Structure 1
Amino acid sequence: MTEAAGALESPTPSALPSVFREVMAAVCTPVSVVTAIREGRPHGTTVSAFASLSMNPPMILVSLDRSSELLAVIRESGAFGVNVLSSGQSALARQFATKGGAGKFTGVRWQVEARVPRLPDAGGFLACDAVRFVEGGDHVVLLGLVRAADTVSGPPLTYHARSFGTHTALEERSA
């Protein structure tokens, strides 16, 4: 903001995508692997655009690239899982972040739970019915009705400033 005008100085249209990317890199997000199954074969991808939407009924939202193979599988099956990763699972996050579906599950333990692939070592798990697909630019926001949930204690894996890390609580300061 400029002091004199108190107005926001917008970047030029050509610079906006770069500035937007930098702003979003400063946002700390949870890291999850979204999964679905087709013909007995698991599919999955790493996402950081995931959030709680509603408590009653329990709903979440996930953002997937519109060209994602996983999105096509979810549209077909109507169900997906969200495996919220733990702080020690950054290698797993990288493995599922690669393009293309082949090989993502190589060497990865998984099981079918509530009709979707579950990664048993993940810190949290949600099985959802896909209830709505909302177009948004180059992504689709998927609204999911949660029908099963489980949690394992431990610190979460987070993504901030293009790096994996974890959350630690701030200590309360006395006055």
Structure 2
Amino acid sequence: MEQKTTSVLAEAFREVMAAVCTPVSVVTTMDGDRPHGTTVSAFASLSMDPPMVLVALDRESELLALVSESGRFGLNVLGHGQADLAKRFASKGKAKFENVPWTFSNGIPQLPEASCSLACTVHGLVDGGDHVIAMGLVLAAERRDASPLTYHKRAFGTHATAEG
């Protein structure tokens, strides 16, 4: 049975999710010979053996169509200080990579300043309401010494270690 979301529930859910601290990432793939990407906050580790992640992509996004077609995507966890890059890739349009340094690694565009990068092949796509969950089998993983960019209460920040 399908549940209809009321405006009250939708607003309460939106407020709860705003209070959850999430890493900010840019998912990338190729559009022919042109890199394409978008900012996401819904991604997680799925499996250690084999190494897999999942990422939620808007059902209407051009990126989802490209990821479905190519069968590959990159996940770039942005570092603290990259909020402008997060905003740039959250916008609409085809010029997101204009004047943005990137490399081509494992057949996927990679943002070299990101705190972490993964290269993945699509292991499966699962319906998730207004999003589609892309499960990615990790081909390559790279970590840099940079604090991650996070999003919490509609603002960018970073992680701070709790004093014990």
Which TM bucket (shorter chain)?
Answer: over 0.9
Give 1:104's aligned residue. Answer: 96
Q: State the 1:41 CA deviation.
A: 0.5
1:117 aligns with 2:131: no
Which of structures 1 and 2 has the bigger CA Rg? 1
Q: State the 1:40 CA deviation.
A: 1.1
1:18 aligns with 2:7: no
Name the aligned partner's letter for residue 123 of structure 2. Answer: V
Cα distance in 1 between the residues matched to 2:135 and 2:31: 20
Q: Where do 5+ consecutive residues of structure 2 fail to align?
A: none
Does the residue aligned with 2:133 lie in a helix, a strand or coil? strand
1:33 aligns with 2:22: no
Cα distance in 2 between the residues matched to 1:13 and 1:21: 12
Q: State the 1:13 CA deviation.
A: 3.0
Cα distance in 1 between the residues matched to 2:7 and 2:116: 40
1:142 aligns with 2:139: no
Q: State the 1:42 CA deviation.
A: 0.4
Cα distance in 1 between the residues matched to 2:7 and 2:22: 26
Give 1:86's aligned residue. Answer: 79
Provide Cα deviations, 1:110-163, integer angstroms capped at 9, x if missing partner. Answer: 111001000011000000001100011100000000000101012100000000
Name the aligned partner's letter for residue 144 of structure 1. Answer: G
Give 2:43's aligned residue. Answer: 50
TM-score, normalising length: structure 1: 0.89
Does the residue aligned with 1:15 lie in a helix, a strand or coil? helix
Name the aligned partner's letter for residue 121 of structure 1. Answer: E
Does the residue aligned with 1:76 lie in a helix, a strand or coil? helix
Q: Where do 5+ consecutive residues of structure 1 fail to align?
A: 1-11
Cα distance in 2 between the residues matched to 1:25 and 1:57: 31
* Identity within the alignment, %: 60
Residue 63 of structure 1, aligned match among 44, 56, 60: 56
Q: State the 1:38 CA deviation.
A: 2.2
Cα distance in 2 between the residues matched to 1:79 and 1:115: 8
